[in-house]
Structure 1
Amino acid sequence: MNSKYLFGLLGFVWLLLSGVHAQAQQRPNIVWIVSEDNSPLLGCYGDAFATTPHLDQLAAEGVRYTKAYATAPVCAPARSTLITGVYPTSLGTLNMRSTYPLPTEIAFFPKYLRQAGYYTTNNAKKDYNTEDQPDAWDESSKTATYKNRKPGQPFFAVFNIEISHESSLHEPLPALRHDPEQVPIPPYHPRTSAMKHDWAQYYDKVEMMDRRVGEILAELRESGLAENTIVFYYSDHGGVLGRSKRFLYESGLHVPLIIRFPEPYAALAPGGPGSTQDRLVTFADFAPTILSLAQVPIPAYMQGRAFLGAQTTPPARYAFGFRGRMDERFDLSRTVTDGRYRYVRHYMPHKIYGQYLEYLWRAPSMASWEEAYRRGELNEVQARFWQSKPVEELYDIAADPHNVHNLAADPKYQATLKNLREANRQWLLTSRDAGFIPEPRMVELAAQVPLYTFARSDKYPLDRVLRMAELASEGQEKNQAALKKGLQDSDPTVRYWAALGCTILGSKAAPLKGTLLKQLDDPDLSVRLAAAEAAYRLGEKQKPLEVLSAALQTDNLMARVLALNILDDMGEEARPALALVQALVPAVLSPNRDYDVRSAESLVQKLKP
C-alpha cells in the first residue's frame, strides 16, 4: 500500500476517533441518587419538621419537580419500571418479588448507554422484579464506582441509599433526634405511643439519608466531576408507615425529584437554579429521559416520555399507577391522576385495606394501630383502613393531600370521576394490562412465553376480561346473569373473574351456586380456587376444602399462596387443612422466607388451640 495513502487513511481514522471522543466528552455524566421508601418529607418540599440541609441545597442549585410519581407504591415493581421504561402491568412484572422473564427485545436501559460508550455502574441494589440482565452494567456491586472508567469516558452511575427503608423501623431506637410528641402525623393515623415513635424515628432516618446524599455529592466534587455531571435525586416510592408504601395514595406514589444541571449543561435544564417544575412525570419517563440526555435513540417499545434532552416530548395528560399482590396478600387496584385529582379503582373491594403482611407488621406502629381499632378508639378516617374498600375513590390532591375525603359519590365531581374512570379504562386496554391474569396462571404461562408477549396476543381477550372484572367488582345483584355466563366462558381468566365476582356478591350469588360447583372441577387451577372461595361462602364446605388442600400440595408457589389467603379468611373452618398448612412451615424460619411460608405461619398462629 502507498505510504502516502496509508498515512492519509490513518489520519482519517484518527480524526474520526477524535470526533467520537469529542462527542463523548460533550455528553453529560449522569448520577442517580436513589433513596428508599420516602415521600417528599423534605425541607425543600415544605416540611418544616424535616432536617434535610443537603437536599435543600441541591434543590436550591437545581430544579425541583412537584408532580413526580412512582408507578407502583412498592420497590420491586417500581424499579421494574425504572430499568425498562415500560409499565410492569404491561410486562407482567407487577406482583411483588416475581421473576417472570422479559421478551428478548426489552433490555435494561443502561445497556443502550454502554453500547453508546458510557461506563455504567450500580451501587448496589437491583430488585427489578424480573430476571437479571447483568450486561446492563460495567460494575454492579457495593464498591461500584464511576472512577474506574477510561479517561474521558462519560458515565451513568446509580447510588442507592437504604437508610430510610421500611426495615429501619423494625427496631425502635432508644434515643431520637426528632421529638415524638412534636412529630406531625397524617389524619389517618392515631397518635399512639408506637405511632409517634415510628414517625419520629422515620424523620431521624430521613435526616441520616440526607447526610449520605451530602457525602455522595462531596465525593463528586472532590473528584473534579461535579461541573460535568447532571445529578438526579429521587425516592423509589413513597413511604413508609402503614397506608403509604404499598397503597395507591399520594403517600405511596408521590416522590421527591430534584435535578441539578452544572453550568456546561444549563441549556438542558427546564428552569434556573431553585426553580420548580409542575410537569407530570412518572418512573416510566426516566429511562427515555436518560437516553435523551445521553443522545441515544429511545426504543419504540418504551411507554414513557423523555422530559429532558433533544428527544423531549410534550407531557402526558395522566400518570398511572397500580397495585397487585403485595408480598403474601393478593389485591388488584389501579389509579390515575391528572396532577390535581386522583382516581382509584378497586377490583377486589371485598378485601380490607389492612390485610395482614408479616413484613409490614414488623413496625410497632402497625400493631398499635390495629389494637386501637379493636378497642374502638379510632375515628372514622382512622378506622377505614381496617374495613373493606369502595369500588371507586376520588380525591382532590390540592385540597386533600392525605386523600381522606372520597369525592366519588359527590354530585359536584361526577364529570371529573367519569373522565378519570375512562382514562384508567383506556390505559388498561391500550397498555395491555397483564395484571388481570390470576397469578397462579401467570406462573404457568410465564414458563412458556413472556407475559408481555402473551398479553399482546389474541390468546388474551382483554376486553372480555376487563369487562368481567368490572362487573365482578361492582358486587351488584343485577350482574348475576353476566357472572353466570362468565363462569362458562372459554377463557380461564374470564371464568376466574366471574367466580371472584360470586365471592364479592356474597349471599346474592346463591342462584349461581350450581354453576359454581361445576367450576370446582375446572381444568384451570386459578378458576378452581376462586370457585372454592365463592362456594364456601355459599355454605359448601367439604369440596372447597378439598380443592384448597390440593392446591397446598402443588409446585405452583402462587397457587399455594392464593389457597392460604382463602383459608385464612375462613378462620376456624380452615382447621381441617391445618396439617397441610403446618407442613409448609420449616423448622427454622429465615428472615426472608417465601410468601407461602409467611402465609402458612400466620394461619398456624391463628389456629393455635
Structure 2
Amino acid sequence: MTSLKKILITSICLLLALLALCTSMAGFQKRKTDPKKKVMPNILIVTVDDMAYNSVGVFGCRISGITPNIDKLAAEGMEFTYAFVNTAVCQPCRESLQTGRYPHNNGAEGFEPIKSEVPTLSEQLRKAGYINGILGKEIHLQPLEKFCWDYIPFKTEKDSVWRNSFGRNPKFYHDYSARFFQMAKTANKPFFLLANSQDPHRPFAGSADDTAEFGNRRPPLTRQYSPEEVDVPGYLPDIPNVRKEVAQYYGSVHRADQSIGGVLDALKESGMADNTLVIFLSDHGAAFPFSKSQCYFNSDKTPLIIKWPHKVKPGSVDSTHMISGIDLMPTILDALGLPLVPHLDGRSYLPLLFGKKQSGRTYVYATFYQIFAKIRYPMRALEDKNFGYIYNFWSDGKLAMTGDATSGLTWKAMVKAAQTDPYIAQRVELYKHRVPEEFYDFKKDPNGLHNLVNDPAYSSEVQKFRDKMLEVMRNFNDPAFQAFRDRKQTGVIKEFMQQQKVKASHTGHDIRF
C-alpha cells in the first residue's frame, strides 16, 4: 500500500471517528436539554405572625398603603376569601401546615414536637431533591431533624446577626433570602424556603414593651401610625388605650409587609421568580382578646394568597370554597406531582388554583388545646360562610382565660373601663370565663358580639351544627369526641378537663438547634 493510500485511509478513519463523537455529543446535549424533562417548581411560603386577615389592604384594611407588597402579590396571584387556619396559636398551627394533620393527630397540641413517625412537608421535598431553608419562627417546628433544613442562618452560617434581628428587620429578610437563593443556584436544585416574619407579634412597634424587650437593639421603626389613623377591630371597645395599641399593632403590620417585600424582591433579583410557587398567609389572628388563641371567625381566618406564574390567573379570587391549614401540605405535594403521604387530615385544593370547582368545601373545623404556659383551654368550632358554632369544654365559671392577648394596653384598658361601663364589663366577663356554647350569624355579626345559641329563631341551625360537629370529630379521631357526645351527662366534661390538666402537665417545650 502506497504512503498516499495510507494517509487517505487514516484521514477517513479520523473523520468517521470525529463524526461519531459529534453525533454522541449532540445526543448528550439533546438529553441534557430535553424540553420534555419535568422542571420542578421552587416553593416559597411567606408567613406573618399574629396578623388579622383584614389588616391586609386587599382583604379590607382601610389604612392607605398599609401592605403594598402583599397587595401587589395578590394582584399577581389568587386571593382566597374563605381560607382558615385550623388552630389559632403559633406552633400547633405551623406544625399542622407542615404535616397536613390536626394537632391531636400529629402529636403537638401545645408547644411540643410532633411525633417522630409523622411525615413533614420539608421531609418529602428533601426526598424529591429540594434544598430547604427557613427564616424566622425556627423554634416552632420541632423536632429539628424532622424538618430537614439545609439553611438556618444562625445555625448553618454561624451568624448571630440574623438572630439579633428578632425576625423583624426587612433588610435582613432580603439579604438572607438572597443568600439562600444563591445557595440553591449553586447546588443546582429546586428550593423550598419558609420565610416567616415575626411581626406583627407582640411587642408592637414603638410600644413601651418593644423598648423594654429589645432596648437599644430594637428593630427599626419603618412607619408609625397615630391613634386617629386606624380602625379599631369591631370585637374590641373603641376606647383611648385600645386605639393607641391598635395603632402600634399597625406599625408592626406595615413592617411585616416590608419584610415580605424584601423576600419577594430577593426572589425577583435571583432570576428564579418565574418558576416559583409563592404562598402567603398569616398563622392566625391578632394578639388581642377574642382573636388569637380562640376559635372565633377573627381567630382562624387567614389572608391566603397564591401566585404561580403561567399557572394561576393573576388578580383572581376564589370566594366559593372554604379551605383549611391542614390542606396546604397535600396541595403542594399535588402541585409537584409527588405522592401524598398516608393519614392526612387535609386534602389538596389544587383544582381551585386553576379556577375549577371542588365539592365538599362548605365548612372548616377549628381546634384549640393549650397555650404556651401549659394551661389547657380545649375548644372546638365549626364554621361555614353563614354561621359559626363553638364549644368551650373549659368553661366552668372558675378557670379564667389568660395568655398573649391579655398582655399589653388593650386588656388592661378593658378591665379598667369595665368598672364603669356595663357593656365592656360584659365583654370582659365573657372573655375571662366564656360560656360552654356559642353560635354566631357571620353575615350579620362577623365580630361575634351576639351569641345566638339560645335564640329560638336559630335553634334548628344550632342543632344542625352540633350534629355536624359530632360527625367531624368522629371522622378526624378527635379525642374530645366522647366528651362532646356525652356532654349532658353529669361529670363527663369535668372528667375530660381533669384528663386535659394531666396531659398539659406532661407536655414539654423541646427546642433543639
> TM-score, normalization: structure 1?
0.66
Alignment-mate amino acid for residue 281 of structure 1: I
Contact 2:307 2:314 in 1 (8 A): no
- In structure 1, what is the equivalent of residue 215 of structure 2? none
Answer yes or no: is 1:70 the counterpart of 2:85: yes
Choose between structure 1 and 2 for higher RCO, CA contacts under 8 A separated by at least 6 residues: 2
Alignment-mate amino acid for residue 370 of structure 2: R
With over 3 angstroms needed to count, the CA separation of the structure-2 counterparts of 1:376 and 1:308, relative to structure 1, is same
Alignment-mate amino acid for residue 373 of structure 1: A
Q: CA RMSD in A?
A: 3.5
Pairing partner for 1:345 from 370, 391, 403: 391
Tell me how far apart the structure 1 counterparts of residues 441 and 417 of structure 2 sit (CA, whole Å).
Answer: 28
Alignment-mate amino acid for residue 409 of structure 1: N
Q: How many residues align?
A: 449
Pairing partner for 1:224 from 266, 271, 290: 271
Contact 1:75 1:127 in 2 (8 A): no
Deviation at 1:296, TM superposition (A): 0.6
Alignment-mate amino acid for residue 377 of structure 2: D
3-state DSSP of counterpart to 2:471: helix
Contact 1:246 1:326 in 2 (8 A): yes
Deviation at 1:292, TM superposition (A): 1.2
1:4-43 maps to which residues of 2 (within 5 A)? 18=32, 23-25=37-39, 27-40=40-53, 41-43=55-57
- In structure 2, what is the equivalent of residue 163 of structure 1? 199
With over 3 angstroms needed to count, the CA separation of the structure-2 counterparts of 1:115 and 1:21, relative to structure 1, is farther
1:98-247 maps to which residues of 2 (within 5 A)? 98-99=112-113, 101-104=114-117, 106-128=118-140, 130-134=142-146, 136-141=148-153, 143=176, 145-149=180-184, 150=186, 152-168=188-204, 171=208, 177-247=224-294
Contact 1:73 1:247 in 2 (8 A): yes
Deviation at 1:21, TM superposition (A): 9.3
3-state DSSP of counterpart to 2:303: strand
Answer yes or no: is 1:292 the counterpart of 2:334: yes
Alignment-mate amino acid for residue 411 of structure 1: P
Deviating more after overlay: 375-384 vs 245-254: 375-384
Contact 2:204 2:251 in 1 (8 A): no
Q: Percent same amino acid at aligned positions? A: 23
Alignment-mate amino acid for residue 367 of structure 1: K
With over 3 angstroms needed to count, the CA separation of the structure-2 counterparts of 1:133 and 1:398, relative to structure 1, is farther
With over 3 angstroms needed to count, the CA separation of the structure-2 counterparts of 1:120 and 1:288, relative to structure 1, is same
Pairing partner for 2:369 from 324, 330, 353: 324
Contact 2:77 2:308 in 1 (8 A): yes
Tell me how far apart the structure 1 counterparts of residues 255 and 399 of structure 2 sit (CA, whole Å).
Answer: 31
With over 3 angstroms needed to count, the CA separation of the structure-2 counterparts of 1:320 and 1:386, relative to structure 1, is closer
| CA deviation map 1:476-496 (0-9, x unaligned) | xxx44xx4xx7xxxxxxxxxx
- In structure 1, what is the equivalent of residue 62 of structure 2? 48
Tell me how far apart the structure 2 counterparts of residues 323 and 353 of structure 1 sit (CA, whole Å).
Answer: 16
3-state DSSP of counterpart to 2:256: helix
Deviating more after overlay: 176-185 vs 125-134: 125-134
Pairing partner for 1:558 from 477, 488, 505: 505
Pairing partner for 1:308 from 350, 363, 368: 350
Tell me how far apart the structure 2 counterparts of residues 196 and 156 of structure 1 sit (CA, whole Å).
Answer: 39
Contact 2:289 2:431 in 1 (8 A): no
Answer yes or no: is 1:279 the counterpart of 2:279: no
Q: Which runs of 5+ in 1 are unaligned?
A: 437-461, 472-478, 487-496, 502-525, 531-550, 562-591, 595-609
| CA deviation map 1:203-231 (0-9, x unaligned) | 11111111222222111111112222121
> TM-score, normalization: structure 2?
0.78
Deviation at 1:333, TM superposition (A): 0.9
Q: Which runs of 5+ in 2 are unaligned?
A: 1-16, 154-161, 163-175, 212-220
| CA deviation map 1:84-142 (0-9, x unaligned) | 011112233222x123x5152x2111111121122222123234465333553332335
Answer yes or no: is 1:249 the counterpart of 2:296: yes
Deviation at 1:60, TM superposition (A): 1.5
Contact 2:142 2:510 in 1 (8 A): no
